Amino acid sequence: MNIIIQASYFIAAALFILGLKQMSSPVTARRGIVWAGAGMVLATLVTFFIPEIIDSDHVSTNLTLIVVAIAVGGGFAWFSGKKVAMTDMPQMIAMYNGMGGGAAATIAAVELLKATREVEAGLASSIPDALGADVTVLAILGALIGTISFSGSIIAWAKLDGRLNTSKLLPKQHFINAIVAIATIGFAVSVYLAGDLTPIIIFFALALILGVFITVPVGGADMPVIISLFNALTGLAVGFEGYVLGNAAMIIAGIVVGSAGSLLTQLMATAMNRSVLNVFFAGVGTGTVAVTDGEQGEMKEIQGQDAGILMAFASQVVIIPGYGMAVAQAQHKVWELTQLLTAKGVMVKFAIHPVAGRMPGHMNVLLAEAGVPYDMIYDMDDINADFKNTTVTLIIGANDVVNPSAKTDTSSPLYGMPILDAMDSDNVIVIKRGRGAGFSGVENPLFFADNTKMLFGDGQKATNELIQAVKEL
């Protein structure tokens, strides 16, 4: 039986890896999700036959708890997954990241408590004696990382969902974080050495607080990076706890998720020309600023009818989507506009910045949902040189990813961040609900540029005006 279980775990791990590989391309992403899901189903079914479960004196209780956990967790995931709006998808991802980290931390807590009982019963002299020194170290590390990921992800969810005011930071927040981190590490060492319950409780409590405190100062504009980082931490914690349990599938899956998440985090930080540490400490997006006419010039408004005519007679149109498109659920209207322009001989392309939206790949998911072909969607590096040949760039709900301050203003918190060079187009049309400065709270000089016109209004309503204008020609 053990050979069958280990072989099944190996197959499940292989499916995880193959599925993740398929997810690297929008063309095969759906297939990758199915493969990874099949691997998870296999790994879950095999759990019912693990000797520690079926050979236990409490086999009926064990199996009942497993079934109840699967029913509750699976039922909630199915219901919430069907119900969630695309605008709330980042919140769901953040929440699920947190649940994974919390599960890993719980495994560590159970193993540490079991070892503590052995020490109290005189069966072992210390926790490392009961579990093994290497297992104890990885259990504590997994507990620390998983707990931080859990509480930090909850804060990320609260920020993204508008339930937490990001401008309310504690005085000397980073200094407090350092103190809490030192205390948490100190109690982690105490857990290893002491072998009783009190240090374990304090350790987990401090780790929870640390996850909250290190996430609170992070600016709203950096949330995509933080979500990716917590995903990586969750994977790492799962891998550590897989070693603690001797579960090959958990080890491989955790390492794969951890490495993929780490790579994505680094790529996103690089796309912002910032380090991961800077993301935690800079606080970009913790305030809000209104864009006002003044020193930079005045915004020039355009009506939907005029904008539609300009686009219809363009040789090339580049569309840059942002979170505003997601909020307005305008992706289907944008695709309808694209089809009309294409029918009139206009070359239409979509430009995606690596950190557009509120999570990695957010805009790609929205456009795929609307049916936009993958070959019309271009990454920043592939399309930036093409803006000089573009008649009209339509920006719908994006702000920071097209802000020229990132190139010209050394005092801007966005300075050095690679952007989509929309300003190089002959004409720029910006669809915005109002005069707000975007998620980072940084003013955008593009809105005042001579070649920029503002089309104020809800993304879906404004896009519909463009559609009607093109249809009437």
pLDDT digits (tens, 9 = 90+) for 195-242: 889 999 999 999 999 999 988 887 666 777 888 899 999 999 999 999
How far is the C-alpha of 421 from the C-alpha of 406, rounded, in Å?
11
Give the residue numbers spanning the domain of 400. Answer: 304-471
Clarify whether residues 268 and 313 are in a common domain: no
Q: What is the CATH number of the domain that holds 451?
A: 3.40.50.1220
Q: Please check whether residue 404 is in contact with residue 423, taking contact to mean a CB–CB distance below 8 angstroms.
A: yes
How far is the C-alpha of 76 from the C-alpha of 64, rounded, in Å?
18
pTM above 0.75, yes or no: yes
Any domain includes 276 = yes
pLDDT of residue 222: 74
Residue among 382, 400, 450, 458 flagged as catalytic = 400
88 labelled catalytic: no
Clarify whether residues 240 and 346 are in a common domain: no
pLDDT of residue 288: 46
How far is the C-alpha of 23 from the C-alpha of 27, rounded, in Å?
8
Clarify whether residues 359 and 254 are in a common domain: no
Clarify whether residues 150 and 111 are in a common domain: yes
Q: CB atoms < 10 A from the CB of 346, how many?
A: 19
Please say which residue of 282, 317, 342 terminates a domain.
Answer: 282
Q: For residue 210, what are its two tokens? A: 């640390």
Clarify whether residues 253 and 313 are in a common domain: no
Any domain includes 122 = yes
pLDDT of residue 282: 59
Any domain includes 316 = yes
Q: Kindly tell me the number of DSSP H helices and DSSP E strands found in the chain.
A: 19, 6
pLDDT of residue 37: 92
Determine the distance from the C-alpha atom of residue 135 to the mean position of all C-alpha atoms in its chain, rounded to a whole number. Answer: 30
Any domain includes 48 = no
Residues 6+ apart with CB under 8 A from 251: 239, 242, 243
Any domain includes 77 = no
Clarify whether residues 218 and 134 are in a common domain: yes
How far is the C-alpha of 462 from the C-alpha of 473, rounded, in Å?
18
Any domain includes 92 = yes
pLDDT of residue 291: 46
Please say which residue of 228, 252, 282 terminates a domain.
Answer: 282
Residue 99 burial by Cβ neighbours in a 10 Å radius (0-12, 13-18, 19+): middle
pLDDT of residue 365: 82
Series of mean pLDDT values for 10-residue runs along the chain (473 residues)? 86 90 81 92 88 78 89 90 79 89 95 92 90 94 96 89 68 85 95 90 96 83 81 94 89 89 84 73 52 63 94 96 87 95 96 82 85 91 94 92 87 83 96 69 86 92 94 87
Cα angle 284, 268, 408 (rounded to 5 degrees) comes to 55
Clarify whether residues 155 and 125 are in a common domain: yes
Clarify whether residues 211 and 345 are in a common domain: no
Clarify whether residues 122 and 254 are in a common domain: yes
pLDDT of residue 161: 80
pLDDT of residue 297: 67
Residues 6+ apart with CB under 8 A from 22: 28, 29, 31, 32, 33, 35
**How many domains would you assign to the chain?**
2
pLDDT of residue 220: 64
Question: What long-range pairs does 250-254 form, CB within 8 A, spacing at least 24?
Answer: 252/13, 252/16, 252/17, 253/12, 253/13, 253/16, 253/39, 253/43, 254/104
